[in-house]
Structure 1
């Protein structure tokens, strides 16, 4: 157990999940389960920092439904959880279902963006995560990070709703041509990021993991020099750039060059416990525990 930190000395520790906390690859001959593998030493380090009084905040592109089981697997009870790439911020509430309630939900009408994208990506699959909860989709897409409450609908039923996130998945498209098509769309009044596969996440204008963390840092009165953030995807770029201005922004070793370029440092890849090494560098007291 680490000694308790004074409130004025606590850090904000913002952690992406997939590819940062969660490993989806292989360890030797053992196939990692679909929900991902968490290094036990890493989980122990995260719990120790949380129990010492630091503000550990999960900041993920996952839906709420797919995020809270990972929080439970880490055996932590953080006050704040950020889901849907910053569009949904949860606050711990013992009386709420699953002990969390939606504190902030950013929403937008995705009609314009969806119509533009459909003209360019004719074979793509489309889905909308509703601000009020639930998920509408036109064709099946990988669902590991998405809500359990799903309903298949015609494309037209995605228009005119209030969405916290739009997902576009085009499995037949090569990533390079997919990115080129997305860049040519000239999307405005939305925030978007392209994943490592042909997967596009669209959020309300100005909403990112960074915008959600900025709001929480102000509420919590945590100095920006005591921010630690770690991630590996293009949806982490804004978060890492924000953290790097005054604090510690760590890109995972397997991250693409454009992600690594905005971080203040690069650690090892997820399969080599890169996040654990980065946390030990920042918090040397962890070395005595793990």
Structure 2
């Protein structure tokens, strides 16, 4: 019997969504070819799971660009690198893992005292200790003191230092020897921190348990460090042509780049027009 994915798990930025002029989520687009290919998979009965480091609001924006879901239907959102699993619409959290972020943030701030810290306010925006560079976060921004920001357990915390490099953050994580948490450094000096064992794979595994699908029947696609576990977990993990080396090493195959509609190239193998 020919294999065909029952679940299509898609990273967003750099996979489905193209960045325009490198300014982040404020200026993004999805190519018509990718929209059509995702629609073909959806119409064929595949469950679409969007899996991103974005907040829920940012993921809803991407779902709208894809034209998903149809009226009366819902799609799965693996939000904040797996820290929360939601369905849409309406926006509903069905699974969440929280932790005390205070100690690890304090350690990072000892090395990067000017770093910005943000916590998601679900469906609204963010609480943060200072404003991030334009276009990097979506929603309402509420600046609060750091002790108030981390007074309660959170599902995820973002640490960002515009004055540092991605290499600085990678080295900082290595020197700190961060443990009992899950962390990933992005494409800039940006670190997502969640509870131990929480990542896109854990969130996607929850989705699959809920709908009765094995990992072997999942196609996952991504390009970043935060996609590594998901690409390894899925029955077929596909890295984008523009992916970081860590993502490529974790994948079963490599497709074209985001700019060259790599998602469409892969999906058309399994869901022809």
Do Structure 1 and Structure 2 share a fold, with TM-score over 0.5?
yes
* Structure 1 counterpart SS, 2:155: strand
Q: Once the two structures are superposed, what CA deviation does each residue of 1:56-101 show, in whole Å capped at 9, x if it has no partner?
A: 1101111011111211221111431111111111124xxxxx5221
1:216 matched to 2:204: no
Query: Which of 261, 267, 270 is residue 273 of structure 1 equivalent to?
Result: 261
Cα 1:168–1:217 change in 2 (3 A) is same
Displacement of 1:275 in angstroms is: 1.3
TM-score (norm 2): 0.90
* Structure 1 counterpart SS, 2:86: strand
Equivalent in the alignment of 1:95: none
Equivalent in the alignment of 2:7: 12
1:199 matched to 2:194: no
* Structure 2 counterpart SS, 1:73: helix
Displacement of 1:147 in angstroms is: 4.7
Equivalent in the alignment of 1:5: none
Provide structure 2 residue ranges, at least 5 long, that are not aligned to the other structure: none
RMSD over aligned CA atoms reads 2.3
Conserved? CA contact 1:87–1:107, under 8 Å: yes
Query: Which of 125, 136, 140 is residue 131 of structure 2 equivalent to?
Result: 140
1:236 matched to 2:227: yes
Conserved? CA contact 1:15–1:57, under 8 Å: yes
CA–CA distance in structure 2, aligned partners of residues 145 and 100 of structure 1 = 22
Conserved? CA contact 2:180–2:196, under 8 Å: yes
Larger mean CA deviation between 76-85 and 141-150 belongs to: 141-150
Conserved? CA contact 1:23–1:270, under 8 Å: yes
Cα 1:32–1:257 change in 2 (3 A) is closer
Query: Which of 172, 180, 196 is residue 181 of structure 1 equivalent to?
Result: 172
Query: Which of 248, 253, 261 is residue 249 of structure 2 equivalent to?
Result: 261
Conserved? CA contact 1:14–1:229, under 8 Å: yes
Larger RCO (CA within 8 A; separation ≥ 6): 2
Q: Once the two structures are superposed, what CA deviation does each residue of 1:121-152 show, in whole Å capped at 9, x if it has no partner?
A: 12211112257965211121146463513210
* Structure 2 counterpart SS, 1:41: helix
Query: Which of 47, 65, 68 is residue 73 of structure 1 equivalent to?
Result: 65
* Structure 2 counterpart SS, 1:167: strand
1:86 matched to 2:82: yes
Number of residue pairs matched by the alignment: 266
Q: Once the two structures are superposed, what CA deviation does each residue of 1:157-211 show, in whole Å capped at 9, x if it has no partner?
A: 2232221111111111122222101221122221110001111001122111100
Which structure 1 residue ranges, 4+ long, deviate > 6 Å from structure 2? Answer: none
CA–CA distance in structure 2, aligned partners of residues 134 and 25 of structure 1 = 22
Displacement of 1:9 in angstroms is: 6.9
Provide structure 1 residue ranges, at least 5 long, that are not aligned to the other structure: 1-7, 93-97
TM-score (norm 1): 0.85
